[in-house]
Structures are given as C-alpha cells and as structure tokens.
Amino acid sequence: MNKYILNIVYGLGALIVISALAFKIFQPIQVLPRMQLAPAFLLVDQDNRPLTSEDLRGQFVIYSFTYTNCPAPCYNINDTVKEIQSRLGEVELNNIPVTFVTLSIDPERDTAEVLNAYAQTLGADTTRWKFATTTNQTLLKTVIGVGLETYYEKKEDGSFAFDPAFVLVDGLGIVRAEYRYATEVSNTDRILRHLGVLADEVKNSTGTNKLAYEAAHLFLCYAP
C-alpha cells in the first residue's frame, strides 16, 4: 500500500514541476514587468493649472519628453503620440482611458502659454494629451531623472541632449514599460500591444486568475 501512496506523491511532484515548466515555456499568460514606482509630482500644465501624479491614477499614462524649441522632426515624438492616439481603437482597453503627458525639459522658455500654443499647433486634445513642466529645476530633474529614469541635459547652445523615451505607467502608478529608443520604428505597435496586455491584466486578474497572473510575474512571462 505504501508503494502506491509513494507513487502518487512522486507523480504529484512531477506534475507540479512539469506544469511549472510548461507555464514558463508556453506562456499562456503574458504580463508587463512591475519596474518601479512612478514618481509623485506636482507640475503645472498647459492651462497653468496644477497637474499631480494623483490626477493620473486609474488610467494608463504614457510620458514623453521634449522641449518646444526642439528642431523638427525632433525624433518624431509627437507624431508617434498622434499615431498611437489615432490607433487606440485597435486595442481592447475595457474603457480604461489612456492619457499622454509630455513633460517639457526646458521650463525657462516653455511657460504655460508657450505649451498651450504648442498644444494647439499640434492639434492636441488636452483632456487626453497634457503638457506640463515646473520651474523648480531640482524637482524636474528628480521626476524625470530619478523617477522616470530618463536622461536630459542642457547643452551650451541652449538646446538639449535627451533620450526621446516613452514611459508607460499603469493605473496604480507603477512603471510597466520604457521605450527608450526613438529609432525603433516598431514603437507604436509595441506600445499598442502592451496597452492591450495591461488592460487584459486589469480585467482578468481577479479571484483565482489573480494567482495565475502572479505566477506569470514570478516566471517573468513578459510580453515581447
């Protein structure tokens, strides 16, 4: 009798190991990594109103960085934002809004008025595409450099060297993806796909399924 029990115990052990391997190899659930907490901030938006990190909870936020004097095409940052906005219908977002926040790295010249004019030139709907900055240079450097891990530095001639990155933050304020290289033409497709993955997780990660999603995080089943 002992032998049967022992076989069952071994069988169960093997089953657990095999299913864990299968879960990792076939990746039935894919997620985005939880990279770090997004920074908390109080900035000023294009309408001269305060914009805080708390205002942006409960929605997907895509941060981008630029300055209004950046010579065109300026890494195609704004074109990418426009393309993503126009193609949002292609992904199942379950009514979770997607907000774009463009942070200006040049607060000396980019006042609220300048940003407002810039938004109008771009034809941006400022409820879903906000422009913000702060004259507190230390805060700006902390938010962008430490919080969103993006490089920018003023050059001698008044222009800026910076990483034309996109940073995707989820509704809980956790950084879920960074798209660092504007040279990648596939950025738009990748961001749209990732928004779908995030929305799926929000929708399905409840009850028992939550454990499966946590397992996907544990086994690093990250969406490409």
Partner 1 sequence: MTTQKMHIDPYERNWMIFSAIMLVLFATAVSVAAFGMGIQVPAPEQRVDPRTVATDPNSPWSNPGLREIATGKYDAYVLARAIPNWEYLPKEMTVPAGSSVSFYVTSSDVQHGFKIQDTNANFMVIPGQVSKLTIKFDKPGTYNFICTEYCGSGHGVMYGAIIVTP
Q: Which residues bind partner 1 (CB under 8 A)?
A: 1-3, 75, 141-142, 144-146, 149-151, 153, 161, 163-164, 179-184, 186, 220, 222
Q: Based on CB atoms, which residue is closest to partner 1, 115 or 221? A: 221
Task: Find the shortest distance in angstroms from Cβ 47 to partner 1.
Answer: 28
Which CB, 90 or 153, lies closer to partner 1? 153
CB 114 within 8 A of CB 68: yes
**In contact, 169 and 186? CB cutoff 8 Å:** no
Min dist. Cβ of residue 202 to partner 1 (A): 24
Shortest Cβ 97–partner 1 spacing (Å): 26
Rounded CA-CA distance 212/23 in Å is: 10
Between 63 and 179, name the residue whose CB sits nearer to partner 1.
Answer: 179
Q: How far is the CB of 27 from partner 1 (least distance, A)?
A: 15
Q: How far apart are CA 99 and CA 174, in angstroms?
A: 15
Q: What is the spatial distance between Cα 207 and Cα 22, in angstroms, rounded to a whole number?
A: 22
Would you say 136 or 204 has its CB closer to partner 1?
136
* Residue pair 13/122 in contact by the 8 Å Cβ criterion: no
The one-letter amino acid at 74: C
CB of 120 vs partner 1, minimal distance in Å: 27
By the 8 A CB rule, do 189 and 90 touch? no
Nearer to partner 1, 46 or 188 (CB): 188
Question: Two tokens at 48?
Answer: 């001269």
Q: Any residues with CB less than 8 A from the CB of 29 and at least 6 apart, and which?
A: 212, 213, 215, 216, 221
